Amino acid sequence: MPALPVPVAAHIGEDGGMLCSRIRTAVSARFDGEELPPGVTMEQLTAHLEGCAACRLWETRARRLDEDVARLRDAGTAPGGEAPGPPRRAF
């Protein structure tokens, strides 16, 4: 029986280290101004992101989403209203 693929969010990083899911939780915490999760240091986060293209891409997408939400909040766009500026390309 062939092995089932491991979900992308749970695989060991391309750097051979920490699980990507823990790194992505840390990235999210950093964006939200929260403390990093227990067991994850800023040095580990930085090293993992340097070595893992999948997590760098996830970080980029999360940052863009954060920026888009902030832009809409700042513009006071009502639900169902038009977003200011041109739409972004899909991921």
Per the structure block, which two tokens stand in for 16? 């051979």
Residue 85, phi-psi category: left (phi > 0), alpha (psi -120 to 50), beta (remainder): left
Which has the higher per-residue pLDDT, 39 or 4?
39
**Per-residue burial over 57-69, b = 16 or more CB atoms within 10 Å of its CB, e = otherwise:** ebbeeeeeeeeee
Assessment of whether the complete model's pTM goes beyond 0.85: no
Mean pLDDT of 4-10: 44
Confirm whether 39 is domain-assigned.
yes
Confirm whether 12 is domain-assigned.
yes
Confirm whether 29 is domain-assigned.
yes
Can you give the pLDDT at residue 76? 73
Confirm whether 1 is domain-assigned.
no
pLDDT digits (tens, 9 = 90+) for 10-59: 455 555 556 899 999 999 999 989 999 998 999 999 999 999 999 999 99
What element of type H or E holds 77?
Answer: none
Mean pLDDT of 69-81: 75
The residue range of the domain holding 40 is 8-75
Q: With bands split at pLDDT 50, 70 and 90, how would you rate the model's confidence at 4?
A: very low
Confirm whether 90 is domain-assigned.
no
Confirm whether 89 is domain-assigned.
no
Confirm whether 84 is domain-assigned.
no
Structural domain tally of the chain?
1
Confirm whether 52 is domain-assigned.
yes
